[in-house]
Structure 1
Amino acid sequence: MEFKDYYQILGVEPDAELKDIKIAYRKLARKYHPDLNPDPGAEASFKEVAEAWEVLKDPGRRAEYDELRRYGGRRDQQFEPPPGWASSSGAGSQQFDGDFSDFFNSIFGAGFRQQGPAGDYSRPGQDVEIELPLFLEETLESFSKPVEYRIPVYAQGQLQELKKSLKVTIPAGISDGERIRVRGQGAPGPGGGPAGDLYLHVRLVPHPLFDVEGHNLLVTVPIAPWEAALGAKITVPTLSGKISLTVKPNSQSGQKLRVPGKGLASRAGRGDLYVVLKVVMPQDASGDVQALWRQLAEQAAFDPRAEWGK
């Protein structure tokens, strides 16, 4: 019996991660799919690729195969598994329902017939991954969002795209870069196989006012020099409306004022809003205004760099 090097079949290294193995499998499965490849040997190659994926995608079967591979199996060598190998890890006791090689059956048990009602070779449908842009305001509460996307389907031997739409529940506190999995909403499985899943990759749309730091928000608010010096009541925006905030006398440019519970939602509660003060000079440069600034400079006798150069 010929030893099958499943890693070589898929063109991956023995220490490859599952995601890389999956990418290689999908690429080869599409290349050799009988509906897309008229070559007489395509179907045999397709089944060999599917067999390799069936073993390497499962942690238990992969571990047993790796052990057997270390035991001395090499591709293009005649190979017989050690007596009792198929039942050594429990994998051989599984009753698979499919058409795989003698090599596979000698290790994992016979009877693997992964076929649909009409006897066609079946496999799981392709997962579909799309980006889901969300505004910061949309992350504060759970809500239902319409989603439209396209799924690949085979029709009359050709690959086509079908438009699909559904409503997806977006949980409160979702963060940038998180994924939402919707089971069974991907591409249909050929030969009656199960449908793939839909994965939504969350991308938070940049806000014109707020910067995001974890679940906290930062907003820069301009204030006049006299508001910083004398103190003032200012109006500050939040994601859920405007609030009034007190600026204390002698506040400095760059100073942060914390507003608890006005940040982004999270599983632990709401983050905070930090208001960053920015002193802005008036644009009026008339003689009267300049005279007042000179009078202030003389009376204050203030040197902001007195300690700076020491």
Structure 2
Amino acid sequence: MAKDPYEALGVARGATEAEIRSAYRKLAKRYHPDMNPGDKAAEERFKEASAAHTLLSDTEKRARYDRGEIDASGQEQGFGGFGGGGARYGSSPFGGGGTAGGQGFGSGEDFSDIFSELFGRSRSSGGGGATRPMRGQDQSYRLRVDFLDAVRGATQRLTLPDGRSLEVKVPAGIEDGQTMRLKGQGGPGMNGGPAGDALIEIQVAPHKLFRREGRDIHVEVPVTLAEAVLGGKITVPTPSGDVTVNVPKHSDSGTRLRLRGKGVAARGSHAAGDQYVTLKLVAGTVDAELEAALREWADRHVAYDPRRDLVD
């Protein structure tokens, strides 16, 4: 049984001629076999939309359908396809069967006019269609990139659903959510037209140590009580490798150190970012000697309250 034409086009029963025409144009462009080679589901959807448009674009047939005199395929109701007046309108406008012309819009325009606009077909005086080159469709993909590869730049391979693979050169400093355009790597062109582009949305994986803000990199580094109080040199990781950093004497948990140029690499008009190292005080192994020293210190500094600002 043919599908209800209003449902097939996605319009209400009270839709205007312009709304019906617009709905059909969108569906025809999306599901046309030339745009979906080998896709049987798209072909069937295109045929449904074409049949629905054929019926609803004819004022008389639409009125008869609305009154229940004919069914969605144009058959007379109650005759089961036998008897007079039972021409079917369920065929594609490109094949034998139903007529392709619809006079309901008052313009005398038929399907060839619609496809001339949608797909670049120009009508000749003899009714035939000369085709012009058409650019292929852009195709969208997602590529998950390691955090450090996004910061430093890298080359990755993206395997496409059709089995092809693309070599994607990820530029240094690319951000999560940015889209790369690979010219000519999308859908194939038609009638000698150029291929479309591949649009690659980058998804940057989080890192267990580093966090990015703009072009700056942030990292939290643990230090011992002795390193914080007495100061000293420690090793700190950066995207470009480990570096030695001097911890100032009397540092505290939360002290932040700045490493110039150790953030996201410079690129184009963007200067290199910085890396910020936040110190995190850790107690580590506590023995009796440390306990005794701290107890003596605490007894001599009973007036010091680090939480005084928390009390109103």
Question: When the two structures are superposed, what TM-score results if normalisation uses the length of structure 1?
Answer: 0.61
**Alignment gaps of 5+ in structure 2:** 1-16, 54-102
Amino acid corresponding to residue 106 of structure 2 in structure 1: Q
Q: Quick one: which of 82, 98, 106 aligns to 1:78?
A: 106
- 1:178 is displaced (CA, Å) by 0.9
The CA deviation at 1:25 is 6.4
Matches within 5 A, 1:150-165: 150=161, 162-165=162-165
Question: Which sections of structure 1, spanning at least 5 residues, go unmatched?
Answer: 12-23, 49-74, 81-98, 151-161
Corresponding letter in the other structure for 2:142 = E
- 2:141 counterpart (112, 130, 155): 130
Between 202-211 and 188-197, the greater mean CA deviation after superposition: 188-197
Residue 9 of structure 1: SS of its match in structure 2? helix
Residue 101 of structure 1 and its aligned partner are, at CA, apart by 1.0
Q: Which has the higher contact order (CA 8 A, sep 6+)?
A: 1
**For 1:206 and 1:39, how far apart are their aligned partners in 2?**
43
Residue 226 (structure 1) shift: 2.6
- Residue 248 of structure 1 corresponds to 248
Asked whether the equivalents of residues 219 and 273 of structure 1 are also in contact (C-alpha less than 8 Å), the reply is yes
Residues 45 and 229 of structure 1, relative CA distance in 2, 3 Å threshold: same
Spell out the pairing of 1:219-234 with structure 2 (5 A cutoff). 219-234=219-234
Shift of 1:124: 4.2
Determine which structure has more spread, i.e. the larger CA radius of gyration: 2
The residue aligned with 2:113 is 101
Partner of 2:166: 166
Give 1:146 deviation, angstroms.
3.0
In 2 relative to 1, CA 205–111 (structure 1 residues): closer, same or farther, beyond 3 Å?
same
Question: Counterparts in 2 of 1:56-67, with a 5 A limit?
Answer: none
Instruction: Give how far 1:135 is off.
Output: 2.2
Aligned length: 234
Does the residue aligned with 1:270 lie in a helix, a strand or coil? coil
Q: Which residue of 2 aligns with 1:195?
A: 195
Q: Cα RMSD over matched residues?
A: 4.1
Find out whether 1:7 has 2:25 as its counterpart. no
1:193-238 alpha-carbon deviations (Å, 9 max, x no partner): 5323211111112111101112111100011123222222211100
| Residue aligning to 2:280 | 278
Label 1:43 to 1:242 Cα distance change in 2 as closer, same or farther (>3 A): same
Aligned to 2:237, the other structure's residue is in SS state: strand
Query: Where does residue 45 of structure 1 map in the other structure?
Result: 50
Q: Secondary structure at the match of 1:258?
A: strand
One-letter amino acid of the counterpart of residue 45, structure 1: S
Structure 2 contact 217–276 (Cα < 8 Å) conserved: yes
Per the TM alignment, residue 27 of structure 1 is displaced from its structure 2 partner at its CA by 4.4
Q: Distance in 2 between matches of 1:293 and 1:41?
A: 81
Per-residue CA deviations over 1:241-260 (Å, capped at 9, x if unaligned) read 11111222222212221111
Show the counterpart of 2:205.
Answer: 205
- TM (norm. structure 2) is 0.60
Give the match for residue 31 of structure 2: 28
- Higher strand fraction (1 or 2): 1
2:300 is paired with a residue of what secondary structure? helix
> 2 CA distance for matches of 1:112 and 1:245?
75
Contact 1:32 1:42 in 2 (8 A): no
